[in-house]
């Protein structure tokens, strides 16, 4: 990452719910631009796999590095053909992986952090790389990281001196370094985290395959979301993953005291999916 005052003008073509914008730098084929709120404009070259940043908009270096890890790297990997979705991923003791899909603020990190505290293995709290291996949907995370608001962190990890193993590792913009993921593991179920609404207790409703596919596409990363060819590439990947792993809509009260019941529901759902595969 290098500060660069000589940024070209950019034609912005897309903006997401949290203010990330994507566009094309004028007159620079092979390049893309991303803009993050409070971060600035990043110029991405697919030729030399570099990210150059204009004078940051007040963000410190750690924040910028985190933004690159959260927003730029998943999109670059997606541009290179991977299927990367905005999801938390945890692995139960028997190896089954649960994915939690949802936009920022829906509770992925809190739930994955809670499950990690309860002995499940955290693969990641924000992005998962999905693919198929021998007909089985598998997930790998980009990096083990848990990013929580202070209140959630203190509720989940109140013990003083909690080892900072989850606060993230240093993330490089060197793709060859980033391309060292957690090994892909089999996905047992995909949960869409819904808004709690009037839910008084945790509930999980089965999604159809088409609904699961559309959720995966909706939460997938893209460097240029207007790129038709790559959209066409993502659709069959999402469909294949949705056909291989059942989807559920998960709703629960946003109350820390209820997270144990959410854990039980997720575990029971994973059990049912396992039995469904083994049964007649």
Partner 1 sequence: MLDRFPSDIAPSPEALESRVGEEMVLLHLGNDTYYGLDAMGTRIWTQLKAGTPLPAIRDRIAAEHGLDARTVEADMAPFLDDLLKNELLVHG
Residues that bind partner 1 in the complex, under the rule CB under 8 A: 208-214, 217-218, 225-226, 228, 231-232, 235-236, 238-239, 242-243
| Residue 8 or 209 with smaller CB distance to partner 1 | 209
Strand pairing partners for 34?
Answer: 22, 42
Nearest residue to 184 via CA among 66, 34, 260, 82: 82
Nearer to partner 1, 15 or 200 (CB): 15
| Beta strands in 110-269, from DSSP E residues, in sequence order | 121-124, 127-133, 136-141, 185-193, 203-207, 247-251
> Smallest distance from the beta carbon of 59 to partner 1, in angstroms?
30
The nearer residue to partner 1, 130 or 178, going by C-beta atoms, is: 130
Closest approach of partner 1 to the CB of residue 15, in Å: 13
Q: How far is the CB of 19 from partner 1 (least distance, A)?
A: 19
- Beta carbon nearer to partner 1, 118 or 211: 211
CB of 198 to partner 1, least distance (A): 25
Nearest approach, Cβ of 75 to partner 1 (angstroms)?
16
Write b or e for each residue in 99-135: b if 16 or more Cβ atoms lie within 10 A of its Cβ, otherwise e: bbbbeeebbbbbbbbbbbbeebbbbbbbbbbbbbeee
Q: Whose Cβ is closer to partner 1: residue 125's or residue 227's?
A: 227
- Give the integer Cα–Cα distance in Å for 80 and 87: 19
Q: DSSP states of 164-198 as a string?
A: GGGS-----S-HHHH--PPPPEEEEEEEEE---TT
């Amino acid at each position: 990452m290098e500060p660069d005052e000589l940024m070209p003008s950019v034609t912005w073509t897309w903006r997401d719910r949290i203010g990330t914008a994507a566009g094309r730098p004028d007159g620079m084929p092979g390049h893309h631009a991303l803009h993050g709120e409070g971060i600035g404009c990043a110029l991405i070259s697919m030729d030399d796999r570099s990210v150059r940043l204009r004078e940051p908009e007040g963000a410190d270096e750690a924040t910028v590095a985190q933004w690159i890890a959260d927003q730029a790297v998943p999109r670059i990997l997606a541009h290179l053909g991977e299927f990367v979705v905005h999801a938390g991923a945890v692995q139960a003791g028997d190896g089954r992986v649960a994915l939690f899909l949802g936009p920022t603020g829906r509770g992925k990190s809190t739930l994955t952090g809670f499950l990690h505290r309860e002995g499940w293995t955290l693969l990641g709290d924000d992005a998962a790389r999905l693919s198929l291996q021998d007909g089985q949907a598998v997930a790998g995370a980009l990096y083990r990281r848990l990013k929580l608001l202070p209140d959630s962190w203190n509720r989940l990890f109140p013990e003083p001196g909690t080892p900072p193993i989850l606060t993230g590792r240093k993330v490089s913009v060197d793709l060859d370094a980033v391309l060292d993921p957690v090994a892909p593991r089999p996905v047992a179920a995909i949960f869409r985290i819904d808004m709690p609404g009037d839910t008084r207790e945790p509930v999980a409703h089965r999604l159809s395959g088409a609904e699961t596919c559309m959720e995966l596409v909706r939460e997938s990363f893209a460097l240029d979301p207007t790129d038709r060819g790559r959209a066409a590439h993502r659709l069959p990947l999402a469909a294949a993953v949705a056909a291989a792993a059942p989807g559920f809509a998960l709703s629960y009260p946003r109350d820390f005291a209820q997270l144990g019941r959410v854990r039980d529901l997720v575990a029971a759902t994973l059990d049912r999916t396992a039995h469904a595969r083994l049964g007649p």
